[in-house]
Amino acid sequence: MLVDIHNHILPGLDDGPKSLEEALLLAENAVANGVSHVIATPHHKNRRYVNSPLTVKQAAKWLNDELLERSIPLHILCGQEIYFHNDMLQNIERDILCLGDNGKYLLLELPTYYFPTFIFDILLELQFLGYTPIIVHPERYDFLKKDKQLGYELVRRGALFQVNASTILGMNGLSLQRFAKDLIKHNLVHFIASDAHHYKERPFLIKEAYKYIQKKFTSQYVTYFMDNAKHVLEGSFLQPIPPISFKN
């Protein structure tokens, strides 16, 4: 079983595939990467797209039926990539879909250009409500690159980090790749995911990313990342490796 916890495979909901045909090509690309389960995470509340739990569930059911009909061995589960906003706790039960719809892990995208200081309060509230927040592609936020200790603080206070496979492979530039590796070295990465959008332009790449990590780090990291993704799928508890401060 290989699980991808962040991608935009559902057609017509966001900046992912524009048609069923494109979604099926992306699904075939996932299978070619050895992926058996994808948790589809369309953008939610990022100023351009709103995708309610019901919309996501209907789209996932439709795509699952089409995959079954074509004997493409891929299972789609539901999720959202939730843009972080200060009123996200209001209506959380109705508006927010956990990864795999099992009530535990949430995928959170942070604002690109500024660090929302109130995030620490919201992290606390989310955990109090029983959710574990997963912050997507920390390597892409300049404020974390400039202040690495802030990343450590977020993890220390209960957030988990997901790095993109394309970053690991250096496709988003050397500086992001270096930062992602630095995060891994400090035990601040808990997942590698594809953030796939398109079968050609932004494909899965997860198989290659894992191969790269095995070569540059150890196979234990690969097992850790893969097991963590399975825990998300099952909604079960995962034990993060203690983070290492940048001040040591």
Instruction: Point out which residues bind Fe ion (CB under 5 A).
Output: 81, 195
Q: Which is nearer to Fe ion, 85 or 153 (CB)?
A: 85
- The residue of the chain with the least Cβ separation from Fe ion equals 195
Q: Which is nearer to Fe ion, 81 or 238 (CB)?
A: 81
Q: Which is nearer to Fe ion, 152 or 193 (CB)?
A: 193
* In the complex, minimum distance from the CB of residue 181 to Fe ion, in angstroms, rounded to a whole number: 21
If we measure between CA atoms, which residue out of 107, 90, 104, 21 comes closest to residue 56? 107
Contacts of 16 (CB under 8 A, 6+ apart): 7, 8, 9, 10, 23, 26, 42, 196, 197, 198
Q: Which is nearer to Fe ion, 22 or 195 (CB)?
A: 195
SS3 186: coil
* In the complex, minimum distance from the CB of residue 135 to Fe ion, in angstroms, rounded to a whole number: 12
Contacts of 116 (CB under 8 A, 6+ apart): 84, 86, 110
If we measure between CA atoms, which residue out of 97, 2, 122 comes closest to residue 41? 97
* In the complex, minimum distance from the CB of residue 172 to Fe ion, in angstroms, rounded to a whole number: 13
* In the complex, minimum distance from the CB of residue 240 to Fe ion, in angstroms, rounded to a whole number: 22
